[in-house]
Amino acid sequence: MVSLRVKLLGLTFENPLILASGIDDKTPEQWIRAHEEGAGGVVTKSIGVEPREGYDNPTIVELPYGLINAMGLPNPGWKGFLKMVEGYTFDFPLIVSIFGGSGEEFAFLAEKLSDVADAFELNLSCPHAKGYGMEIGQKPENVYEIVRAVKEATDRPVIAKLTPNTDDITRLGLAAERAGADAVSAINTLKAVAIDVYARRPILSNRVGGYSGPGVKPVALRAVYDLARTLEIPVIGIGGITTWRDAVEFLLAGASALQIGTAVSLRGWGVFREISTGIEAYLESEGFSSVEEIVGLALG
């Protein structure tokens, strides 16, 4: 009998697949849909102190091997978020993604949202929002300060979501670990641009966006591999996971769980069930009884 159950951050996930923060996770109905379709847990859209409408369209460009998006961190703000989740109960781990421009803002959000979050993911890596995400998350000292502030503000587990737009992602991971992070997730999108050859200008209204999908998988896999070899805390793998083979590669590279985002946009909600079924078949055929048995086997 093969078990896909994963215990992480003091939480139990039915399987290692988690809906990533991004495009398809704005409402409770989408979180519930993801779970019904086979996701073991969910990360919400990033929530900030004040509501944001995000950027004007176009905000997404589809490419042969993924998407470039510049949504602009649209969200209802923390008050709107609490109102949105009123009356809902979730029978799966709900990880609330938060963003801010300082440690104080992150800590404020963690304090206000602790009653509804099973864990927090700190958006230290969005590549297209001025004053947020990657702009502050590229510096290890900022990562340390923000993680530390959040840990002091909440008793919920804290995940630092790291940017690949840096010369050494392990420095960011080590800073998060030193500050008390319970895990890191990697990677967020790669900074990218697409140009319309007839308009002769960038397609996105924000010009620059974040590239995700199958094209970033080797970069994401390398980041997870490096982090898993360096850190003592768990690593959650994100980036181009589209098939069960992709998922198994990330697990072998040291990821304790996996987030899936762009594949939902490109292939539909059924991708969760398809990937989990493939992982289960792989484990059974290779003589393993659980997901946890294969985590990190490629680290050597």
Read off the pLDDT of residues 209-255 as tens digits, 9 standing for 90 and up.
Answer: 999 999 999 999 999 999 999 999 999 999 999 999 999 999 999 99
Among the options 126, 134, 263, 279, which is catalytic? 126
Q: Predicted confidence band at 278 (pLDDT cuts at 50, 70, 90)? A: very high
List pLDDT tens digits, range 88-120: 999 999 999 999 999 999 999 999 999 999 999
**69 in a known ligand binding site:** yes
**38 in a known ligand binding site:** no
pTM: 0.96
Is 126 a known active-site residue?
yes
Ramachandran assignment for 133, one of left (phi > 0), alpha (psi -120 to 50 degrees), beta (any other): left
Q: Characterize the bridge pairing of strands 255-260 and 235-238.
A: parallel
Q: How long is the chain?
A: 300
User: pLDDT over 90 for what percent of the chain?
Assistant: 90
pLDDT at 222: 98
Q: If 0-12 CB within 10 Å is exposed, 13-18 middle and 19+ buried, where does residue 100 land? A: buried
Report how far residue 259's alpha carbon sits from residue 196's, in angstroms, rounded to the nearest whole number: 31
**283 in a known ligand binding site:** no
**142 in a known ligand binding site:** no
State the amino acid at position 150 in one-letter form.
V
**45 in a known ligand binding site:** yes
Which element (helix H / strand E) includes 250? helix 244-252
User: Are 22 and 42 spatial neighbours (Cβ–Cβ below 8 Å)?
Assistant: no
- Higher pLDDT residue, 55 or 277? 277
Nearest Cα to 109, choosing from 74, 153, 73, 145? Answer: 153
* For range 147-155, the mean pLDDT: 98
Nearest Cα to 125, choosing from 108, 109, 147, 152? Answer: 147
pLDDT exceeds 90 at position 136: no
CATH C-level class of 6-51+70-191+214-293? alpha beta
Q: Quote the mean pLDDT of the chain.
A: 95
**161 in a known ligand binding site:** yes
